[in-house]
Structure 1
């Protein structure tokens, strides 16, 4: 659009010019284009490629941003443009991962929830975020302090004692520029999220920049007249906003131009029609070829109603937990749980893959910081999460795999605070060949990568800390099931058809305890007919 001589509206190029060398820039997004200010990101990249400015930025983001190719954080993955990245989840930008691996930037991670909450603390002028979240993990200064490469030398947190208990204080820092995504702005600059598929940490990020004396730059799809937005629809007031860029091409995701089912705008008959479509989508998904993922999902789903709660509050992570969520929906059990995701959404049909974080026909959408407050305070009854590897102490690594910075996203906030945690994943990786579907599981070729190791490469979930907190923790694979006990991991279940010594114990990096009443999983988990 052309430049406006009045108010806060400007072009993306003009907005990008507001960023100075050395600024700390806060970004938002949830992977796959969820609430990503794509137009602004591309404008910053274009300016740098044309002028080599701005330089030396510190970039912070709570969740994953990008498409694993050219969008999102990939726009910032240029040597010289950034000097430091504090990222919650890195896999959406292989280019930024390479810069970290090659020591071209200082690479750090923070838990996704901690990032959102820290923005709020910065905005409120408080002395950082005091929390138990991250104790005993890579974010604890005794375990790495969030540093992910040799170029990163600072600890992002420090250990403090209060009332005889340990906490982490995540240190505050000013946010010079916030690049925020929303739906609409009125002429005065009031901002609405009404067509967005989540709220994420937009409000916390804007608050942090506003009260740091920085710039709040908002990308919206449309400019509306004053009086068009109801007061309760305004999520960021004009008083916080410095610049607004209109992008008429702004989409729900990279792949979806706009769908009101994702923004929660459907009601009445329209919503029922959309939910019927969701049901058809789930039935189609059930036609996937049966394999070890489905076997693990069936076993994991057995734990859903063993929490002591009539209607438990549940969170699903990525990977095999996707299959658990799909199975629960297919069985018609969604109404028996309160389904949540860390992005702030409740209910609905969860998407997976590149649309993880989206939900069709959600029942509620909260800000991410509030959702993480709910988790941190103990509101989550059970979480189904993936694992990269786990060890004899029950510690899990998902944040650094194969030498690459992956980041935890919301994993640490969720895993550390759920009353019951069910880690779901395959037993091994790379080259594994299995035969199943007839009520048994047979291993015809072992994997080259062992995922059950003596010591994890990085602690993203601490088994010893979990024992102190009194959590119930399970590790479920297609071959065997384990649980966390005082003193370490115990094997309590194996799959029918699996040879305990050859297929399980010989393929582990440690010798687990073996339960006296070692059981065999029911054949129905391994029957393709269900």
Structure 2
């Protein structure tokens, strides 16, 4: 039952080229940075990544992206990641952009053993009809486009069928975790982390605080240990490394908050 491994390097020692990887986090919040650095250090390539976004400010998945290690991304947001946008438009990377709620449910469904589900999100758009650019040819044309999806009517309303997501590995970050893999996520880091963890066949969690079994009240557990195969404790310095993408402050005399 003890799932603790000594180092992040040991936790991803069996990572391999071409594997699929679900990664928790949203922007810079709740990103398993140490595990991502360990995957980068292993030198694995041609990764298929499932994550809301692909890192920012040269942290998180942006590290793997800049090194040319990612072949495909399934996500919802490109945002201010200029290198992600450049690689996508240049045809260097394949990108499947899907509605954020659909991405969340595809991950959750994969973890629950549900192969597919129907949702109204995307009906009447290219999400359902097909034709979204997955890969450009580098000259402004589309090399690979999304295929059409099944649409069915239930009670007079149309729904599009979405397939669930399962990945070879999942990397997540939690505020607390015990040796059995039960996890607690802090505030906004409880975003895609539990869902990514559910979707992984092998799920690795880096935890800011490692506690003994029984120290976490069962009612406080956000993700039960059945979904987690490996746990690695962060050092105090690693746990304290939390970047802020946009800092909003109150300035005396200003008419409103200022983003810096």
Shift of 1:154: 3.8
Counterpart in 2 of 1:216?
Answer: 203
Q: Count residues with an aligned counterpart.
A: 250
Tell me, yes or no, if structure 1 residue 287 matches structure 2 residue 258: no
* Separation (CA, whole Å) in 2 of partners of 1:141 and 1:148: 17
Aligned partner of 2:225 among 229, 238, 243: 238
Aligned partner of 2:162 among 170, 189, 210: 170
Q: CA RMSD in A?
A: 2.8
Counterpart in 2 of 1:135?
Answer: 123
Which residues of 2 match residues 301-450 of structure 1 at below 5 A?
none
* Separation (CA, whole Å) in 1 of partners of 2:66 and 2:55: 15
CA contact (8 A) 2:105 2:164 kept: no
Are the structure 2 counterparts of residues 133 and 9 from structure 1 closer, same or farther at C-alpha, using a change threshold of 3 Å? same
CA contact (8 A) 2:176 2:184 kept: yes
More RCO (CA 8 Å, sep 6+): 2
Counterpart in 1 of 2:26?
Answer: 30
Shift of 1:184: 1.4
Q: Which of structures 1 and 2 has the bigger CA Rg?
A: 1
Counterpart in 2 of 1:459?
Answer: none
Shift of 1:7: 3.4
Counterpart in 1 of 2:139?
Answer: none
What stretches of structure 1 of length at least 5 have no aligned partner? 1-5, 257-277, 289-322, 327-351, 355-530
Shift of 1:236: 1.6
CA contact (8 A) 2:171 2:203 kept: yes
> 1:253-278 deviations in whole A, cap 9, x for unaligned?
3149xxxxxxxxxxxxxxxxxxxxx9
CA contact (8 A) 1:106 1:151 kept: no
* Separation (CA, whole Å) in 2 of partners of 1:27 and 1:206: 8
User: Could you state the TM-score of these two structures normalised by the residue count of structure 1?
Assistant: 0.43
CA contact (8 A) 2:132 2:145 kept: no
Aligned partner of 1:184 among 163, 172, 176: 176
* Separation (CA, whole Å) in 1 of partners of 2:195 and 2:127: 21
Aligned partner of 2:10 among 11, 14, 23: 14
CA contact (8 A) 2:204 2:230 kept: yes
* Separation (CA, whole Å) in 1 of partners of 2:181 and 2:40: 25
> 1:450-482 deviations in whole A, cap 9, x for unaligned?
xxxxxxxxxxxxxxxxxxxxxxxxxxxxxxxxx
Aligned partner of 1:161 among 119, 134, 153: 153
CA contact (8 A) 1:28 1:179 kept: yes
Aligned partner of 1:82 among 70, 73, 83: 70
> 1:308-364 deviations in whole A, cap 9, x for unaligned?
xxxxxxxxxxxxxxx8xx6xxxxxxxxxxxxxxxxxxxxxxxxx968xxxxxxxxxx
CA contact (8 A) 1:197 1:252 kept: no
CA contact (8 A) 1:108 1:152 kept: no
CA contact (8 A) 1:156 1:171 kept: no
* Separation (CA, whole Å) in 2 of partners of 1:22 and 1:14: 19
CA contact (8 A) 1:196 1:252 kept: no
What stretches of structure 2 of length at least 5 have no aligned partner? 137-141
Counterpart in 2 of 1:60?
Answer: 50
> 1:385-410 deviations in whole A, cap 9, x for unaligned?
xxxxxxxxxxxxxxxxxxxxxxxxxx
Are the structure 2 counterparts of residues 85 and 168 from structure 1 closer, same or farther at C-alpha, using a change threshold of 3 Å? same
Counterpart in 2 of 1:523?
Answer: none
Secondary structure of the corresponding residue to residue 160 of structure 1: strand
User: Could you state the TM-score of these two structures normalised by the residue count of structure 2?
Assistant: 0.83
Secondary structure of the corresponding residue to residue 226 of structure 2: helix
